[in-house]
Structure 1
Amino acid sequence: MQTLVLTFVSLGNVTTREAIDWALTYPKIVKGITVIARVMNDIMSHEREQATDHMASTVQTCMKQYGVTVEEAIEKLKIVLEEAWMDMMQDYLEQKYPMTLLKKGISFGQSIDFFCKREDLYTLPSNLKATLTSLYVKFA
């Protein structure tokens, strides 16, 4: 949430005091982003983190709460992610708040999705090298 609010503040004059106050009320789009960030990161980093002394993750909590396997917990958490996206899109489509902020919120969620969808690029950013190279280097 703090990173998203800082993103809003970085927009300068576009972001009013009312917009920040709105973001701090934890609307659906902000809640969705925080859920997506936490759950996607926990799904991606679960195995690696369990190899060391680490605090319980969302995956472990889900496993314990429902008495399910890792795979089943991840499937349940994917439903939570889908619901978070639907909530975000509802706020976006209702357009009750400044569109610039709503678009930034959606873009922020998409960035989290990119960083955590296939591998943990947030914790292991060196894995981004091939992707960034393909974006900026023209092959003959």
Structure 2
Amino acid sequence: MGDIATKEVFEWVSNGPKIVKASSTVCRHMDDVVDHKFVQERKKKHGVCATSVECYMNKHGVWEEEACEECLQPRDVPMALLMPPVNLARVMNVFYKDGDGYTHAGGPMKTFISSLLVHPIPI
């Protein structure tokens, strides 16, 4: 990231800033929301632990929809540093909006990756 990634910036990100935590939470929630029913069935058979959605719902006494809401607010650091975790959350939308595209990477996800890396649009 060139001159932007200074020692101070690495110290900042090492302290777990809210935007990085929020991005991670969004990723975890998107996976859990899409996988919730699948995980529940697997849990019955294999004893898998609760999803983050269930944990949040139990801790805060809210419905599933409320447990999945997140808000990212800019901080006093360069946007170039804020965008990678935000973009990670955005790509999770691609992976999980129509099912678990990470675990089951065939179909649309395979087409997306192929379009991006194997057959990109020439510039």
CA distance in structure 1 between the aligned counterparts of 2:39 and 2:99, rounded to whole angstroms: 13
Would the alpha carbon gap of residues 20 and 58 (structure 1) be closer, same or farther in structure 2, given more than 3 Å must change? same
**Partner residue in 1 for 2:7:** 17
Q: Secondary structure at the match of 1:102?
A: helix
**Partner residue in 2 for 1:120:** 100
Matches within 5 A, 1:60-75: 60-62=54-56, 64=58, 66=61, 73-75=63-65
Quick one: percent identity of the two aligned structures? 28
**Partner residue in 2 for 1:97:** 77
Instruction: Supply the RMSD in Å over aligned alpha carbons.
Output: 2.7
Structure 1 window deviating more from structure 2 (110-119 vs 32-41): it is: 110-119
**Partner residue in 1 for 2:22:** 32
AA aligned to 1:120 is: D
CA distance in structure 1 between the aligned counterparts of 2:98 and 2:11, rounded to whole angstroms: 34
**Partner residue in 2 for 1:56:** 50
- Total equivalences in the alignment: 113
Name structure 2 gaps, 5 residues minimum.
none
Q: Secondary structure at the match of 1:126?
A: coil
Q: Secondary structure at the match of 1:125?
A: coil
Give the structure with the larger helix fraction: 1
